[in-house]
Amino acid sequence: MRCNYCEWRCELGPQQYGVCQMYYVDQGEIRERFPHRWSSYSVSRMESLPLYHAYPGARCMTIGTTSCNFMCRYCSNGFVARRDPAEQIARMYVLSPEEMVRMARKLGCHNIVFNVNEPTVSLQTLAELKVHADEAGLPMGCLTNGYTTEESTELLCSIFSFMNISLKGFTPEFYQEYLGARDLEPVLRNIRRIAQTCHVEVTTPVIQGVNDGELMEMADFVADIDPQIPWHVFRLLPEHEMTEARYPSIDAINEALHDVRKKLDYVYFHNFVGSDWVNTICPGCGHEVIERFSLGCGGDRLCAFDCQDNRCPVCGQEIKIHGTRVLWNAMEVAR
Ligand code: SF4
Q: Which range of residues forms the domain containing residue 267?
A: 23-334
Determine the distance separating the centroid of ligand 1 and the alpha carbon of 24, expressed in angstroms.
10
Q: Per the domain annotation, does 39 fall within a domain?
A: yes
Q: Which of 1, 10, 31, 70 to mutate to test the pocket of ligand 1 (most atoms within 8 A of CB)?
A: 10
pLDDT reported for residue 207 = 87
Query: Residues 301, 304, 305, CA angle at the centre, nearest 5°?
Result: 110
**Within-domain flag for 104:** yes
Residue 16 lies in a domain: no
- 335, exposed or middle or buried, with CB in 10 Å at 0-12, 13-18, 19+? exposed
pLDDT tens figures, 9-48: 999 999 999 999 999 999 999 999 999 999 999 999 999 9
Residue 112's beta-bridge partner residues? 61, 140
Q: Per the domain annotation, does 204 fall within a domain?
A: yes
Domain count, the chain: 1
Is 7 a domain residue? Answer: no
Ligand 1 and 9: CB distance under 6 A = yes
55, 44 contact by CB (below 8 A): no
Taking the model in full, what pTM does it have? 0.95
Regions of the chain where pLDDT drops below 50: 335
In this prediction, residue 333 carries a pLDDT of 54
Q: What is the pLDDT of residue 332?
A: 66
Question: Does 244 fall in a domain?
Answer: yes
Q: What is the CATH number of the domain that holds 260?
A: 3.20.20.70
Q: Is residue 146 part of a domain?
A: yes
pLDDT score at 330: 80
Q: Which of 11, 12, 15, 23 to mutate to test the pocket of ligand 1 (most atoms within 8 A of CB)?
A: 23
Residue 126 in domain: yes
- For residues 155 and 135, what is the distance between their CA atoms, to the nearest angstrom? 18
Dist CA 105 CA 99 (whole Å)? 10
Which pLDDT value is given to residue 276?
87
For residue 5 and ligand 1, the question of a CB distance below 6 A is answered with yes
CB of 68 closer than 6 A to ligand 1?
Answer: no
